[in-house]
Copies of this chain bind each other. A is one copy, B any other.
């Protein structure tokens, strides 16, 4: 059976684009080395028509198919033991950029940083970015509804997509390549497919939104008395800048101390340590905000300084340093971007990618610290958070690997008690399937299973991922 399928695939794509044996090595593990597997084969179609043909053949053979683009997922969503892997890397055309309409039409295989570079030539930005941008491809970002650093201002991946095209389990192609901002014609299949992790259809193309590139940034490290004050600060800054806050990143005292211990050359942002440190960045596209004009308008950094000065007098800010140069701005960001290095510097550890409502971040951190202490008296948390969108990367250094599962359970208990999410931006894949079974609303799970059954009755699309079967 498999041999026939492989022959058919070779006939459809050309033998060169159906990999088996050692050629499959790059497709046989995830990039952090958490999972490895041996696929049946890797098919590399070059067009939507070829993706459709691969699915038609696989469907007839009832062969499980695992779609893959950039291999940068963190949840094992491309694990493919014995399955056919369908790589979309050859669908890498940026088909069209329309600057006036602020949109681009792209293939699922386009690498994120290539899209950034291509639209930059038009003074535009695709405002989704994260560490893996040099390898991550659009198809995987859409399949997982990727998050990242600019969600506060521009939303998640789904908020940046006007339309898409997908191939269904049986090979049919659904064309939803809308370029529209208003389109109320039936169920929103676009949002159903985005974030479904390749279990309902394989996204092959998309229409994405572009925005004007900020002409200037103003960046500061700010200390506030409490996390609740930090939220008030965020709201004030949003009001005073008309929503120009691009980043609002929380680092607690312990994080900064650990970072500066690891980087003796780095300067602490403040002369004295503070509990609540926020990296704030504003972005502005307006010329008036970048250069002193004839009307006396001030540059963005001076404006931020002036605003923070006022908030200091109100007692909302206890200390603040506005970056006076690009080098100082980069130093602030280096501290924030060392999160993985700092978090992973000690083992054993438990990694949580959670979200809570914006006004419950402080409560979460207090409750979680108490909860993990009950399990492991020597446990220490090491946190950084996208505070502007309630997403907390909550790492716990534990004294014994045996505490791993109970600590994760304890953290998830707190998250759920606050109405939070056990997977904010990394998705489910296989690694969070047990949490889905335990934590997700039962009726919601039943609805997901019914939808999966309706759209992929033979269960061949990325099986045993995302939605637990029981």
Contacts and interface: CB of A to CB of B under 8 A. Distances in A.
A390 to B, nearest CB: 6
Contacts of A427: 184
Nearest to A356: B180
B151 A182 contact: yes
* Among A180, A238, A303: residue with most chain B CB under 10 A: A180
Given A101-B357, A239-B212, A145 B176 contact: no
Interface in A18-56: none
Contact of A285 (B175, B240, B423, B467): B240
A198 interface: no
Contacts of A152: 181
A311 interface: no
A103 interface: yes
A93 interface: no
A362 to B, nearest CB: 11
B186 A285 contact: no
Nearest to A145: B184
A288 interface: yes
A262 interface: no
Contacts of A188: 145, 158, 191-192, 194-195
Interface string A454-469: 1100000000001100
A100 B187 contact: no
Number of copies: 2
A351 interface: no
A389 B177 contact: no
Interface stretch (A64-72, A263-271, A394-402, A437-445): A437-445
A110 to B, nearest CB: 20
Nearest to A103: B357
Interface string A162-173: 000000100011
Contacts of A389: 181-182
A289 interface: yes
B390 A180 contact: yes
A354 B428 CA distance: 38
A174 B100 contact: no
Contact of A192 (B101, B192, B419, B428): B192
Given A102-B358, A238-B212, A184 B448 contact: no
Interface in A295-310: 295-298, 303, 306
A183 interface: yes
Nearest to A310: B287
A183 B427 CA distance: 8
A301 to B, nearest CB: 14
B100 A151 contact: no
Interface in A410-425: 419-425
A273 interface: no
Contacts of A98: 357, 359
Interface string A254-292: 000000000000000000000000000000111111000
Q: Which one of A178, A187, A428 has the highest number of Cβ atoms from chain B below 10 Å of its Cβ?
A: A187
Nearest to A173: B443
A458 to B, nearest CB: 14
A343 interface: no
Contacts of A295: 296-298, 306
Contacts of A151: 181-182
A216 to B, nearest CB: 11
Contact of A358 (B101, B187, B241, B243): B101
A20 to B, nearest CB: 32
Contacts of A446: 172
A120 interface: no
Given A100-B235, A455-B447, A355 B183 contact: yes
A467 B187 contact: yes
B358 A181 contact: yes
Nearest to A443: B174
Given A181-B389, A182-B386, A187-B192, 10 more contacts: A100-B228, A100-B358, A103-B357, A147-B182, A175-B441, A181-B355, A183-B355, A186-B448, A243-B285, A296-B296
20 contacts: A101-B360, A151-B181, A151-B182, A156-B182, A178-B421, A179-B358, A181-B355, A181-B390, A182-B386, A186-B436, A186-B444, A186-B445, A186-B467, A187-B451, A188-B194, A189-B448, A192-B451, A212-B238, A288-B303, A295-B296
